[in-house]
Structure formats: C-alpha cells, structure tokens
Amino acid sequence: MNYIYDITLNFNKNNLYEFYEWREEDVPEFILKIPVYKVDNDTLYDLKFSNVIISKDHLLNIFDKTEVYTPNSVNLIRYACLFSSETSTVAIEFDSDGNTYMKSNLSIDEENEVLECVRLMKYSIIDYKIKNKSSNKVRFLTREELDTENYVRKKISEMHQNNEKIKLKYIFYELYNEKLDDEEKIYNKILNIIKNNDNKLKKLKEILNLMENKKIMSNNP
C-alpha cells in the first residue's frame, strides 16, 4: 500500500471546498499518514463529484490506516484515503457501510506533491457504486455563492411559511419592477432565482439585507 505523509485536509460533509475557500472557523486536520490510490480520470470524477458506496474489501484495506496529529496524541480515522489521477486528487472519508461521508481538496502545493508521487504508481481498480451524482450547479458554486444561496432560501422560506405577503410582494417588485398578487407565483419565481443561481440572486440578497437592517434599526431605541 502506498501512503502520502504530512498534508492538511479540511473534511466537509456537504460541500467540497477549494483550499482558498477554507475559513478560520474550519477545523483542518493535520494528516501524518494516509493511503493513496491512483485511478483513471473517469473514476476520479465519479469519486470526487458523486456520492458513492465503496466495496467492503476497500474498507478493510484502509481501516485505521490514516493517522491524524493532535497536540497530545495521534488519532486514527477509521476509513479514509486519497484518490488521485495524474491531474487531480481528492481525499474521502467513508462510513462503516462504505458510503461517502466527507471529502476534502488539497492545497495546490500539496496536491502537486501527491501528483508527483503517484506518477510512477500502478493504477488501482476501485469497486464502487454511484448513489447519486452532484448537480453541475452545486458542484461549481463557490463557498460564498453557496452561503448566499442558503441564506436567501432560508429567509424566503420563512416569509412564505409566516404568510408575509407584503414582504414577498415588495421583494418581487424590487426584482422585476412588476406588481403581482399571486403569492404562490411570487414565491416560486423567487425560488427559481435561487435554484438557478440567477443573476438576480445578488440583488435578492441585498434586498433581504436591507430589510433586515431596517428591522434592526426600528427595534433599537
């Protein structure tokens, strides 16, 4: 088995962030040692951008093989490894049933080191099944765009659930310069902005921020 040593990973459960999107509140892990497998580009694409179930044999091969440095000890990640083609790399942690659990990209420097190491390695055949593929929209959104989308969706959903018709009509008018009385049509049209990452999404966030700031100011003595 081949290993990579001394790299930093930022495992996330729902999103695969680029290293330049890592934040101070994240909890990166300092990996002392992790197995690495060289795969073809198609396999890497599936593993990186889809949720998969890995075979039991692969789980057994990587069981307790990843070592993580902590200030007072060295801990183990039960099921984790790197997959690398000759052009890209991803770290994946699996649960005990072989399901994709968390993923991490690498920094450019560390990924280049991994690519250099795997260049002379033999290709591995990975036994896996795809559970569901990530959509292109979600896959290529930045972390900031994802945060904006989640924030806007939450606010609009709350307004709809609380039957705040006047607010939704106001937002719709500001977005489209058009009056509409059908609340469901307004709600669905705004949701489509979020769903499609429409160019109005930024303006929608600005409107919500403005409304929130006015609310805060009105509540202050």
Q: What is the pLDDT of residues 129-140, one digit of tens each?
A: 998 765 444 445
* Domain end position, chosen among 100, 133, 166: 133
Same domain (yes/no): 84, 151:
no
Same domain (yes/no): 36, 98:
yes
Same domain (yes/no): 126, 33:
yes
Same domain (yes/no): 43, 98:
yes
Same domain (yes/no): 68, 160:
no
Q: Determine the Cα–Cα distance for residues 192 and 101; give it in Å rounded to an integer.
A: 29
* Domain end position, chosen among 104, 133, 162: 133
pLDDT at 172 over 80: yes
What does the pLDDT look like over 54-109, one tens digit per residue? 999 999 999 999 999 988 899 999 999 999 998 889 999 999 999 999 999 999 89
Same domain (yes/no): 111, 149:
no
Same domain (yes/no): 59, 15:
yes
Query: Could you list the residue range(s) of the whole structural domain that residue 206 is in?
Result: 143-219
Same domain (yes/no): 12, 111:
yes
As a whole-number percent, the residues of the chain with pLDDT over 90 amount to 46
Same domain (yes/no): 48, 103:
yes
Mean pLDDT of the chain: 87
- Determine if the pTM surpasses 0.75: no
* Domain end position, chosen among 114, 133, 152: 133
Domain total in the chain: 2
What does the pLDDT look like over 3-46, one tens digit per residue? 999 999 999 987 788 887 888 788 899 999 999 999 998 899 89
What does the pLDDT look like over 173-185, one tens digit per residue? 999 988 888 888 8
pLDDT at 141: 63
Whether 163 maps to a domain, the answer reads: yes
Whether 138 maps to a domain, the answer reads: no
Q: Long-range pairs for 130-139 at CB < 8 Å and ≥24 separation?
A: 130/46, 130/50, 130/51, 130/52, 131/50, 131/51, 131/52, 131/53, 131/99, 131/100, 132/50, 132/51, 133/49, 133/50, 133/51, 134/49, 134/50, 134/51, 137/196, 137/197, 139/16, 139/49
Whether 204 maps to a domain, the answer reads: yes
Kindly give the residue spans of alpha helices, DSSP state H, lying in the chain.
Answer: 41-49, 56-62, 108-118, 136-139, 143-161, 165-176, 183-195, 201-219
Same domain (yes/no): 22, 66:
yes
Same domain (yes/no): 119, 189:
no
pLDDT at 193: 85
